[in-house]
Amino acid sequence: MEDIIFLLILLGITYATGSIIEKRHYENIRKREIALIKKPIINFGAKKWNTNRKIKKIELVTGECVISGDYFKNFVASLKNLFGGRLTTFESILDRGRREAILRMREKARGANFIINTRIESIMINDTYTKDSVPQCAIIAYGTAVTYE
């Protein structure tokens, strides 16, 4: 009985903290994405990138993010796993992580005209999947920033 009460309290707390953090994070991401809306990023240009304009600067830009879910999300996902279907709680974690990493990369290249050949690399750090371990995802986004003269 005590175990169940403890679990419920834990779930309640982590639900509250998790949803507050997620809401704030999404607001933050949206604000920054709107600020960068005029800066295009593209993921082609690896083979041949030709332009007639003079190029001032070329550099590799990267953005990193390590994001984790919370206890509540993990609990819901483990229940959903029984029936299959979309694990919406995990989708939002990965979505936030990717967008954050891409935003960090774009913010480093503020002066550049655009970023070409963007790649996104992600990996689960916590691969020992047990009931108590929460997925942690490390994401690196990188690309080449081109600045015209």
Partner 1 sequence: MILTNIESVPGMTITAQYGLVTGSTVRAKNAIKDFGAGLKNMVGGELKSYTELLTEARKEAIARMEQQAFRMGANAVINVRLATSSVTVGAAEVYAYGTAVKVEPKG
Count of residues near partner 1 by CB under 8 A? 51
- DSSP structure class, residue 7: H
Choose, by CB under 8 A, the member of 32, 62, 76, 107 that binds partner 1. Answer: 62
Contact between 100 and partner 1 per CB under 8 A: yes
Contact between 77 and partner 1 per CB under 8 A: no
C-alpha 67/C-alpha 143 separation (Å) is 21
Alpha carbon 59 to its chain's center: 22
Contact between 14 and partner 1 per CB under 8 A: yes
Neighbour tally for 138: CB within 10 Å: 17
C-alpha 98/C-alpha 77 separation (Å) is 20
**CA distance from start to end of the chain:** 70
C-alpha 112/C-alpha 108 separation (Å) is 9
Near partner 1 in 122-141, by CB under 8 A: 123-128, 134, 136, 138, 140
Between residues 54 and 131, which has the closer beta carbon with respect to partner 1?
54
- What residue ranges bind partner 1 (CB under 8 A)? 10, 13-14, 17-18, 21-22, 25, 45-51, 54-55, 58-60, 62, 64-73, 93, 100, 116-117, 119, 121, 123-128, 134, 136, 138, 140, 142-144, 146
